[in-house]
Chain A
Amino acid sequence: MATTGDLILEVNNIEVVYAKAIQALRGLSLAVPKGKIVALLGSNGAGKSTVLKAVSALLPMENGLVTEGRISFDGETVEQSAPHKLVRRGLFHVMEGRRIFGDLTVEENLTAATYALTGRSGITPDFDIVYRYFPRLAERRKSIAGYLSGGEQQMLAIGRALVAKPRVILLDEPSLGLAPLLVEEIFGIIARINAEEGVSMLLVEQNASVALSIAHYGYIMETGRIVIDGPTEKLVADRDVQEFYLGLAHKSYRDIKHYKRRKRWLS
């Protein structure tokens, strides 16, 4: 693994509790090297979104609290206080379910994201970069965002991140509710953004195969902790990952027992 200086994001042994009662993460650690795409995979309710919300300091808005551990962005500790300041420092969270501003136009949504540039001198807002990656948004720049198709809304959500000129983007299930062809198109663009703009990414997905197709490194989590991690080539070659996350083979009860044994051993 890379040394601390090469990491844009480092999560160390964090525990997260919602509403002072529900423990969502138990001693979770992960790291995102500069310029890389790291995938965070897992099934429903595993705690993937919680990891992202902890990193972007949005947890307190949902009555969640990081009770243990440390998160650092570019070497500095992330405080759970002011999410907008973190965005202005270059950490952008594209939230689950797109969360575009439905009654604003496409262009106004992008304008809202220019607040991320507050306090950063010498950067002028650039919407053309958004329209270059997503030409479809250019045609609809004056449309009310709430009436865009699901795919266009996802493009807009990523487009807002582009306006913010971040150093790391947290992407929460960009494939959610999209047709397979569109998923491939959007993931292709995500990979291009990473390669061309040099933005690091922490990519949360349930769709493991498409996520691993563009990621450099992957973590698989279950019920609040990491169970398997490794470089993508190693993960896709792993028999258990193939069976249980990429759905390449039939699952029999014996396999599941075997998997559970191995998981316990790994964690």
Chain B
Amino acid sequence: MAVEFIDIVETSLAGIGTGSLMALTGVAFVIIYKATKVINLAIGEMLMIGAFVFYGFSAGLALPIWASVPLTLVVAALIGGLIERTMIRPLLKDNPVSVFMVTIGLTSVLIGVVELVWSAEPRRLPEFLPSQPVLLGDAFIPSKTAYSFVIAAAAMAVLITVFAFWRGGIALRATATDRAAASSVGIDVPGVFSFSWMLAAVVAALAGILVGSVGGISSAMGLFGLSVFVVVIVGGLDSILGALIAGLFIGWLEAMVGRFMGGEFKLLATFTILLVVLVVRPYGLFGTHEIERL
């Protein structure tokens, strides 16, 4: 079987497109983990509720896109803050396992809310990305894939720049290293926790809008979170750069395997990578473990 070069290129680009959305969602996961050390199993459902809120504004209330997107992000921030205040903060002094369990409960809560308000039926988001396919050399890229990639990439570029140059990035990293020491230098640690959940909810909602505009929305779309967990484990739970690279790579790998070996091999490939990384580098490719001076 001769594999055409152009086919490889197109499949790769499509895979990287999906991968960029995994990467963006992975970044949302990492922000929470970095600041609070909470493993948030509900990241896929936070993405889902963002997509539905967007649906509510753009289809339900028929608001224009330029209003629906910012409104969605604001509502997402409020939801993120609410989750942190009511479900996470009261438990932060307890052991990590109980917080982890709470995020499992959170998945059901968010799914329940969506099914109550919008029912379990799959829906389509209003078309808002240009529908012309994008031509890169000879390769066709479906327009939604291409534009969502561009938006996801821009969002990540903004996030990385902000964390590199803004003092708040240092507050986040200081809190991640040592909470008591962070308070002792004047950092508002509970504020950092709230902020990280709000920011993560915003990022996840943006990813939700993009994922939904490519593949439609349903109360089951939180399953996207499963691939994201693989991404963050491979990239390192606390590494934004790791989420980015692992997201693109796993998106690409799944597309290639799905196209040239068959869809049933996708998961096999993904989890093989996961296992190999866990064995070789338990902290993930870019994850950090503490500096130890010997």
Q: Which residues of A contact B (CB under 8 A)?
A: 56, 58, 61-63, 82-84, 87-88, 92-95, 99-104, 108-109, 111-118, 144, 146-147, 160, 164
The 7 listed contacts between A and B (C-beta, < 8 Å) are A84-B186, A95-B181, A100-B181, A101-B173, A101-B177, A104-B170, A112-B174
Q: Which residues of B contact A (CB under 8 A)?
A: 93, 167, 170-171, 173-174, 177-189, 288, 290-291, 293
A87 to B183 Cα, complex, angstroms: 8
A164 B173 Cβ-Cβ under 8 A:
no
CB < 8 Å: which of B173, B178, B189 contacts A84?
B189
A105 to B221 Cα, complex, angstroms: 41
A150's nearest neighbour on chain B, judged by CB, is B293
A111 to B171 Cα, complex, angstroms: 9
B288 A56 Cβ-Cβ under 8 A:
no
A-B interface, 6 closest residue pairs, ranked by CB to CB distance from nearest: A116-B186, A146-B291, A99-B181, A115-B186, A87-B186, A83-B183
CB < 8 Å: which of B173, B188, B290 contacts A115?
B188
A103 B184 Cβ-Cβ under 8 A:
no
**Closest Cβ–Cβ distance, residue B135 to chain A (whole Å):** 44
B188 A99 Cβ-Cβ under 8 A:
no
* Residues of chain B contacted by A160 (CB below 8 angstroms): 185
CB < 8 Å: which of A61, A93, A113, A115 contacts B179?
A61
* Residues of chain A contacted by B293 (CB below 8 angstroms): 146-147
A56 to B185 Cα, complex, angstroms: 11
B187's nearest neighbour on chain A, judged by CB, is A115
CB < 8 Å: which of B177, B182, B183, B187 contacts A103?
B177
Q: Which of B173, B174, B186, B290 lies at the interface centre, i.e. has the most chain A CB atoms within 10 A of its CB?
A: B186
CB < 8 Å: which of A82, A102, A112 contacts B185?
A112
* Contact status of A99 and B180, CB under 8 A, knowing A84-B187, A111-B170, A160-B185: yes
**Closest Cβ–Cβ distance, residue A20 to chain B (whole Å):** 13
A147 B189 Cβ-Cβ under 8 A:
no
A118 B186 Cβ-Cβ under 8 A:
yes
**Closest Cβ–Cβ distance, residue B229 to chain A (whole Å):** 24
**Closest Cβ–Cβ distance, residue B257 to chain A (whole Å):** 36
* Residues of chain B contacted by A117 (CB below 8 angstroms): 186
CB < 8 Å: which of A62, A82, A87, A144 contacts B184?
A87
* Residues of chain A contacted by B183 (CB below 8 angstroms): 58, 61, 83-84, 87
CB < 8 Å: which of B171, B184, B291 contacts A147?
B291
* Residues of chain A contacted by B188 (CB below 8 angstroms): 82, 84, 115
A115 B184 Cβ-Cβ under 8 A:
no
**Closest Cβ–Cβ distance, residue B28 to chain A (whole Å):** 22
**Closest Cβ–Cβ distance, residue A142 to chain B (whole Å):** 14
Given contacts A95-B181, A111-B167, 14 further A-B contacts (CB under 8 A): A62-B180, A83-B184, A87-B186, A100-B181, A101-B173, A101-B174, A101-B177, A109-B174, A111-B170, A115-B167, A115-B185, A115-B188, A118-B186, A146-B291
CB < 8 Å: which of B167, B173, B177, B182 contacts A114?
B167
**Closest Cβ–Cβ distance, residue A117 to chain B (whole Å):** 7
A62 to B181 Cα, complex, angstroms: 12
**Closest Cβ–Cβ distance, residue A137 to chain B (whole Å):** 16
* Contact status of A87 and B185, CB under 8 A, knowing A99-B180, A104-B174, A111-B170: yes
